């Protein structure tokens, strides 16, 4: 089958799939505290998600990352992971993984490993229990740390994703690094993105330029740039003194779009060709219109043909209403992390 190539000659080999918009946390930079979630009837069934993902795999997708919301709160989700494992066994899929808040890992880590998952990303912005409760609103840090330990015990490689927030976790830069070194986890810092309706002055004040973060690290450590890529937008450095690998995801200070190989599928069948653009394609209609995949494949190719060159996030540029240039009003939980 002809591979998926976008208008800028980028091969699309990475699909991120949100299996639910629901979450058991309410992280302040991701969603509002009183979220109105989609009616469950609007969500694709797990069988439909399996069929959609399988079509993408047939069309050349080699990496599949499951996101949410929190993917592990979706009822019956392990049947989906077990189904996807057949593509790992056949060799059609190189990697199946997920991004999670860690709250359900103690329950599911062993089952995830049995499905062929080898590494996971866990979102964790602070090691301070009180601050963790404040940023997640509903989360409990001990529960997440128990889940991370369970994942490690099950043989899963854990990468910690920390959103860099000025005035919140600036003072934990080195303690997060030390903790990850001690536990054997990689660490990636992410710039907070202008997504969601709540772009208050507080939110803008939290933006921590990762160039500044890196400069602070360089005062203490020697950083060596790595050419390694894991299929996502992160750029990596090695900390020579500790041997740690540290990632930076910088959608604002360094636009990583030139090598973008990914698209995002929502739990309702919307395909977003770019995280930072509103254009999307409805795949639910062709999925349900026929048991044959021909129309679905055609819809996917038509969508990829519209994939833009990149996004335009920029906190520095605001219009007269105060809206951030490139700001996206949908919540991150809608598109998937």
Query: Is residue 270 very low, low, confident or very high in pLDDT (cuts 50, 70, 90)?
Result: very high
Q: How far is CA 149 from the centre of its chain?
A: 21
pLDDT tens digits along 294-335: 999 999 999 999 999 875 544 444 444 445 444 445 455 556
pLDDT tens digits along 126-139: 999 999 999 999 99
pLDDT of 335 reads: 64
Domains and CATH numbers, the chain: 14-335 (3.20.20.70)
pLDDT tens digits along 18-58: 999 999 998 888 888 888 889 988 899 999 999 999 999 99
Smallest CA-to-CA distance from 248 within 232, 234, 228, 233 is with: 234
For every residue of 245-280, DSSP letters joined together read: EEEEE-TTTS--GGG--EEEE-TTSEEES-TTS--E
pLDDT of 229 reads: 73
The C-alpha angle 186, 29, 99, rounded to 5 degrees, equals: 40
What sign does the CA torsion over 65, 68, 70, 73 have? negative
Burial pattern 166-178, b for ≥16 Cβ within 10 A else e, equals: eebbeebbeebbe
pLDDT tens digits along 77-93: 999 999 999 999 999 99
Phi, psi (deg, nearest 5) at residue 74:
-75, 130
pLDDT of 206 reads: 81
Instruction: Say whether 222 sits in a helix, a strand or coil.
Output: coil
Half-sphere exposure of residue 135: CA atoms within 13 angstroms, side-chain side = 23
């Amino acid at each position: 089958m002809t591979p998926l190539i976008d208008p800028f000659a980028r091969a699309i080999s990475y699909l991120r799939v949100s299996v639910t918009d629901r979450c058991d946390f309410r992280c302040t930079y991701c969603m509002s505290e009183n979220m109105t979630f989609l009616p469950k009837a609007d969500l694709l069934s797990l069988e439909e998600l399996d069929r959609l993902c399988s079509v993408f795999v047939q069309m050349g997708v080699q990496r599949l990352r499951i996101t949410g919301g929190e993917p592990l709160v979706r009822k019956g989700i392990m049947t989906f992971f077990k189904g996807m494992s057949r593509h790992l066994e056949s060799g059609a899929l190189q990697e199946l993984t997920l991004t999670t808040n860690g709250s359900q890992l103690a329950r599911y880590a062993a089952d995830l490993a049995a499905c062929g998952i080898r590494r996971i990303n866990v979102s964790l912005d602070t090691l301070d229990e009180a601050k963790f409760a404040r940023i997640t609103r509903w989360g409990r840090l001990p529960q997440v740390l128990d889940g991370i330990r369970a994942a490690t015990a099950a043989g899963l490689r854990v990468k910690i994703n920390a959103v860099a927030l000025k005035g919140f976790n600036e003072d934990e830069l080195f303690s997060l690094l030390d903790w990850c070194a001690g536990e054997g986890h990689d660490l990636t810092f992410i710039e907070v993105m202008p997504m969601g309706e709540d772009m208050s002055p507080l939110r803008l004040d939290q933006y921590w330029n990762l160039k500044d973060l890196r400069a602070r690290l360089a005062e203490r450590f020697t950083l060596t740039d790595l050419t390694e890529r894991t299929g996502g937008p992160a750029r990596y450095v090695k900390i020579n003194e500790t041997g740690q690998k540290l990632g930076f995801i910088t959608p604002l200070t360094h636009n990583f779009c030139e090598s973008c190989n990914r698209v995002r599928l929502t739990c309702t069948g919307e395909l977003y060709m770019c995280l930072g653009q509103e254009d999307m394609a409805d795949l639910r209609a062709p999925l349900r219109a026929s048991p044959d995949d021909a129309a679905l494949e055609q819809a996917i190719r038509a969508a990829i043909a519209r994939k833009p060159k990149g996004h335009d996030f920029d906190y520095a540029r605001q219009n007269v209403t105060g809206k951030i240039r490139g700001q996206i009003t949908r919540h991150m939980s809608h598109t998937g992390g």
